[in-house]
Structure 1
C-alpha cells in the first residue's frame, strides 16, 4: 500500500495505523470511481443519469418512452442550434440526429432536407423535424425528401434472396 510506505518505519506495522490507512484507501477509491462516473456525464455519447438535468436546462421535455439515444440526439441538436442560423448550423443539427444521413441545402428560398442514407421514411423523423423547426427562422419553408427503391435498382440487379430481405417501407407508399 503506497500510503503506508510513505510513513516512518515505526508506523508501518502498527495495526491501528494500518486500519486507518485501509479506511482512507477505501474512501480514495470510492472518490476515484465517482470521479470517473461524473466524467462520463460530461459527454453526449456517455451521459446517462445527468441527461434529465441537461434536458431540463435546455428546455427539453422528452416524449414518454423515448430511448436514451433519441434523447441524446435531441439534446445534441438543441446545443448545436444556438447562434446565427446558416445552412451549416442546420446541417449540424441534422448531423446530431441518430437515424440516418441527411444533407441540408437552400434552394429557391426553401430549406431542403434530403435523406441520403436508408430507403424510406426514417424512424424518429418527428424528433428531427422538431429540432430543425426550432433552429430555422419561422418564415422559411422546409421540404423533406426521402429515398425509395426504384425499379432500376431492383430489376435484374437484385437476387430473389436479396429481394426477400427488403422491407415494404423501403418502397414508395409502403408501410410496415
Structure 2
C-alpha cells in the first residue's frame, strides 16, 4: 500500500511541476493578425480571446502593417477608444506583450478610427492554480510524503517564472 501511494504522490508532483510551466505564445487574431476586422464582425478579437485561456507569462504576438497596438489602463479608455497615457504603445509591425499578472488587459489600435471599427480586444488572464493543501501534521503520512508535497508546492512559482525566459 505504501509504494502505490508514493507512486500516486510522485505522479501528482510531476503534474504540478509541469503544468504551470506551459507558457503559450499566441498570435493575436490567428492567421489574420492585428488588422481592422470586416464591418459585420466588430467583436472578432474578443471572440478570438474568448476561445483561448490565458495564464500569467503567456505572450501575445501582434503582427500588423501600417497599424499600432496600445495597452490602455481600464474599460473606460477601451470603450472610448482613446488614451492620453497608454500603458504600452508599439507600431513596429511585430509586437510581443507578456501577460505579467492575472486580471484584465485592454488593447486598442492607436490608428485613428480603427478601434471604433473593432480593432480592440480584452484579454482575461486566469489566476494561477492554488498549491495543494498542506496536511495538519506529518503523522498523517508515515513515509514523509507531506513534507515532499509542501516542498514541491513552494517550488512551483519558481518553475512558472521560467516561462519568461523560454
| TM, length-normalised to structure 2 | 0.29
Between structures 1 and 2, the one with greater strand share: 2
| TM, length-normalised to structure 1 | 0.28
Between structures 1 and 2, the one with greater helix share: 1
Larger radius of gyration: 1
